[in-house]
Amino acid sequence: MAIATTLIFFLVILSASLHLHTNTVQAQQRRQSNITLGSTLTPTTNSSWLSASGLYAFGFYQEGNGYAVGVFLAGILEKTVVWTANRDNAPVPSNATLVLTSGGWLVLQQPQSQDTDITGLTQRASYASMLDSGNFVLYNYSHNIIWQSFDHPTDTILSRQILLAGQDLISRASETDYSTGIFRLSMQRDGHLVQYPISKSSPSTAYWASGTFMYGDNCSLHLDGDGHLYMLNATGTTNIKDLSDAEPTMEEKIYRMAVDVDGIFRVYSLRRALYNKLREIERAN
Ligand SMILES: *[C@@H]1O[C@H](CO)[C@@H](O)[C@H](O)[C@H]1NC(C)=O
Ligand SMILES: *[C@@H]1O[C@H](CO)[C@@H](O)[C@H](O)[C@H]1NC(C)=O
Ligand SMILES: *[C@@H]1O[C@H](CO)[C@@H](O)[C@H](O)[C@H]1NC(C)=O
Ligand SMILES: *[C@@H]1O[C@H](CO)[C@@H](O)[C@H](O)[C@H]1NC(C)=O
Ligand SMILES: *[C@@H]1O[C@H](CO)[C@@H](O)[C@H](O)[C@H]1NC(C)=O
Ligand SMILES: *[C@@H]1O[C@H](CO)[C@@H](O)[C@H](O)[C@H]1NC(C)=O
């Protein structure tokens, strides 16, 4: 079967989101490298925490009639969601609050209901950070990373993010609904990268496989900063399969790989200069 990877330049999507979202996300995002205990976000004001360069944001984004919590490209590209917290929970109304509590827990609070935990941690955080890589990270009091969104991928990996043996990417339900969809890309412990329909993960139902079982267990999937998507063996030293080629580095691009709604996984690139231009237009409006 054909390898289901393509490189796509999504200018069309970009201009579409420019028209749709120019009015919805003005000046609601705060640049804050270290997020301290007691910090809060709400869907309509101070809706997200930005990474240092302002590229990625962690916080609320619009979904259906409400809001979900996740990581996305900041600003007009807010629809480029790369991670979602508790993706199968219903969207929350605008009176919800996201809090990094003074006790060190990251929770979603809603009037008259119990707090919803975001991370599943049993250890208190001392601060959090939205990194420029797109990784949202929590630290403990000795500055060790105790949780990171890169360890809990939903349907996407970003540059320098690794899909480890035993991890899956699962498509979203639809272009606008980020809950669990119907296709799974599984980095199996046996060294095989395999695509399955979600409900039937047996060899006979696989619709694509990398054919890398002979390289031993615990292989992993990697996306580099130049769009190179490939697999390494357990030692991490040997490239056992190339899935997409590196692009010549003529200019800076933002790469991501996603298992799309149609079950195909694709590598996407976005020129950084174009992104910056669109952000400028947004700010000017
Ligand atoms: C974030 O906090 C850590 C640990 O306290 C500190 O080392 C670092 O300088 C802080 N970064 C910023 C940008 O304030
Ligand atoms: C939230 O935004 C308002 C302005 O809309 C600002 O006055 C306030 O300081 C912000 N609060 C926090 C916690 O960032
Ligand atoms: C919060 O918003 C929901 C949905 O709009 C509404 O049903 C509920 O009454 C609100 N709660 C409070 C305390 O305002
Ligand atoms: C922080 O986490 C590291 C690694 O998990 C652990 O060794 C350390 O004891 C923790 N520090 C605190 C203060 O909990
Ligand atoms: C693969 O990972 C498992 C679980 O961590 C470990 O027991 C096993 O030794 C690893 N195998 C190889 C070839 O690295
Ligand atoms: C990974 O490949 C290298 C080079 O072929 C080999 O030396 C190493 O043993 C391999 N690692 C595993 C865990 O198979």
Cβ atoms of residues 41 and 55 within 8 Å: no
Distance of CA 276 to the CA centre of its chain: 20
Residue 151 Cβ < 6 Å to ligand 5? no
**33 C-beta closer than 6 A to ligand 1:** yes
44 near 59, Cβ under 8 Å? no
Looking at 2.90.10.10, 1.20.120.450, 1.20.120.1780, 3.90.1150.10, the CATH number of the domain 31-152 comes to 2.90.10.10
| Region(s) of the chain under CATH 2.90.10.10 | 1-19+155-285, 31-152
CB atoms within 10 A of CB 251: 10
Task: Name the residue at shortest CA distance from atom 10 of ligand 1.
Answer: 34
Q: Which residues line ligand 4 (CB under 6 A)?
A: 140-142, 144, 146
Kindly report the pTM of this predicted structure: 0.88
70-to-84, 87, 150 alpha-carbon distances in Å: 4, 9, 12
pLDDT tens digits along 260-278: 999 999 999 999 999 999 9
Which tokens is 64 given?
């259906």
Of all protein residues, the one whose alpha carbon is nearest to atom 5 of ligand 2 is 45
| Rounded (to 5) percent helix, strand, coil in the chain | 15, 40, 45
Mean pLDDT of the chain: 88
Q: Which atom of ligand 5 is nearest to the CA of 217?
A: 13
* 86 Cα: distance to centroid of ligand 3 (angstroms): 21
Query: Per residue in 93-121, pLDDT tens?
Result: 999 999 999 999 999 999 999 999 999 99
Q: Whose CA is nearest to atom 6 of ligand 1?
A: 34
The pLDDT value given to residue 30: 54
Q: Is 144 in the pocket of ligand 1 (CB under 6 A)?
A: no
Instruction: Tell me, in angstroms, the distance from the centre of ligand 2 to residue 107's CA.
Output: 19
Tell me if residue 7 falls in helix, strand or coil. strand
Contact partners, residue 237, CB within 8 Å, separation at least 6? none
Calpha distance 111→96 (Å, rounded): 7
pLDDT level of residue 25 (50, 70, 90 thresholds): very low
- Stronger pLDDT, 231 or 12, i.e. the higher one: 231
- Domain spanning 1-19+155-285 has what CATH number? 2.90.10.10
